[in-house]
Chains A and B, each alone.
Chain A
Amino acid sequence: MTKETYLHDKHIKLGAKMVDFAGWHMPVQYTSIIEEHKTVRENVGLFDVSHMGEVFVSGKDSLDYLNSIVPQDITKLNFGKAVYCQLTNKNGGLIDDLIIYKLGINDYLVICNASRIDEDLNWMVRNKRGFDVKIDNQSHNYSLLAVQGPKAELVLKDMGYDTNQESFSIKAGTVCEMKVLVSRTGYTGEDGFEILVENEHSEVLWDKILEYGKNYNIKPIGLGARDTLRLEAALHLYGNDLDENTTPVEAGLSWSIPKEKQADYNGKDVILNQIQNGVEKRLIGLKMLDKSIARHEYDVYFEGEKIGTVTSGGPSPILGYNIAMAYVKNIKNICIGSTVQVMIREKLHDAEVVKRPFVQKRNKIKM
């Protein structure tokens, strides 16, 4: 049975093209992916991301417990702050990538991918061992609305929300008299907010955001543009760029892993060893040098030899050329500026290795 968010009827009424995604019937686009993409980069867009998972972790051992399942140091996570994390297995492979929020002493919120919620819960329960924690999946009770773009802050301000909060922070607040949890996070490479609201209020909140956003040319944005936006920002998509056989180090996520963390966690030996001694495969960014598009699972070649595989690829509406991410063998000769080839319909096409992110995060609009 395909699941529907509480905003499903809104999407249908707005004329969205719907697709099945991770077991959910979701809007892929309302008008045009390219148009929606530019709206988020230039103004502000509204996303229904209620398919994502919300798991509350509480209990007297919640800190030690969370610290034992992610490479990040949760002891350093302050109240009201959020941290990008990975859920790793014993080999350092990725079960999922997550954001963990500290809501209070012994009170945490874990937001995870819709496609991985079952695996995550399974793994989290299996790793409870002797810890005194409560793992409470509340995904079915909450809707998640993302307001993203340089003008996101202006929309929320107009709605009576005090937007004075840092990136990667979360606080309880009121938006149009509705009690919500607002975090300054997103998946677009823009400034923005994600608003967690009880299902029963989600339709009103959706309408209010569109109403207040009118002044800033807000548009509803589908999963199609969500994908092109996150690709330009070189944000990983689980299932494409991350999987159980790939470690955070291979995925280029070492920046998120503290080297001095005391506590043990799943895959720590593998991960630290890779940070110190290097990896056999690594993630690179590619810019296609012709009009062809490298897509998921296309092969990458270097000097006639197959060296890897594209994990995500597509057009960049902002840059005007096609971009991709790929895992390749860690060969010294391949660095920024190198030319590799992508096999597309039995022909090799040149691509330049470029820095990630493809599009730099821009500062929010100054008031």
Chain B
Amino acid sequence: MSFTEKILCSKSHEYLLDNGDNTYTIGLTDYAIEQLGDIVFLELPEVGQEFSKGDTFATIESVKAASEIYLPISGKIIEINEELTDAPEKLNEDCYEQGWLVKIEATGDESEQNDLMEYEDYKEELE
């Protein structure tokens, strides 16, 4: 199974990967990265911070502008991808395997995922 077959995507271009133990990996879709262009700055939250679904938990900046990144489900940050904050340009090469942003422990109900789409449907929605 390829990475994109395993993820759910939000309308605001975040993805959610179920790790199976009530933890999830969060990142931005390739479409989002493509739209942003050269990534030059990434600000991630601290481990232990808690957010509700839809909260801004990170900021990403391309050459042209700053954008907020929203958490697709409620959760507590358990790990951040520190390598990326040092070299955010790596997101332009890979936003999935190496380019995930944070890992969270879900704190909300599974119904929070109802508005998330499979990657194929997400892609279709964009067209």
Identify the A interface with B (CB < 8 A): 17, 28-29, 32-34, 224, 227-228, 291-293, 295, 314-315, 317, 345
Contact = CB atoms under 8 A, between A and B. Distances in A.
Nearest to A37: B63
A32 B64 CA distance: 11
Contacts, number: 34
A32 B89 CA distance: 12
A292 B66 CA distance: 10
Contacts of A228: 63
- Residue among A32, A291, A345 with the most chain B CB within 10 A? A291
Contact of A224 (B37, B40, B43, B66): B37
21 contacts: A28-B64, A29-B37, A32-B38, A32-B92, A33-B62, A34-B38, A34-B63, A224-B63, A224-B64, A227-B64, A291-B41, A292-B41, A293-B41, A295-B65, A295-B66, A314-B63, A314-B64, A315-B40, A315-B41, A315-B63, A345-B43
B79 interface: no
Interface in B47-70: 59, 61-66
Interface of B: 37-38, 40-41, 43, 59, 61-66, 92
Nearest to A295: B66
Per DSSP, chain A at the interface is mixed
Contacts of A315: 40-41, 63
B84 to A, nearest CB: 12
- Residue among B37, B62, B92 with the most chain A CB within 10 A? B37
A330 to B, nearest CB: 29
Across the A-B interface, the 7 shortest Cβ-Cβ residue pairs: A33-B63, A34-B38, A315-B40, A32-B38, A33-B38, A293-B61, A293-B41
B30 to A, nearest CB: 15
A345 B59 contact: yes
Contact of B40 (A28, A29, A293): A293
Given A224-B63, A291-B41, 4 more contacts: A292-B41, A293-B61, A295-B66, A345-B59
A29 B62 CA distance: 13
A227 B37 CA distance: 15
A295 B59 CA distance: 14
B14 to A, nearest CB: 19
Contacts of A17: 37
Contacts of B43: 345
B76 to A, nearest CB: 21
Nearest to B38: A34
Nearest to A32: B38
A220 to B, nearest CB: 15
Nearest to A225: B63
Contacts of B59: 345
B90 to A, nearest CB: 14
A96 to B, nearest CB: 23
A41 to B, nearest CB: 15
Contacts of A291: 41
B126 to A, nearest CB: 15
Contacts of B37: 17, 29, 32-33, 224
Nearest to B61: A293
Contacts of A293: 40-41, 61, 66
A119 B85 CA distance: 44
A299 to B, nearest CB: 15
A191 B64 CA distance: 24
A345 B69 CA distance: 13
A9 to B, nearest CB: 22
B41 A33 contact: no
A139 to B, nearest CB: 26
A229 B64 CA distance: 12
Nearest to B65: A295
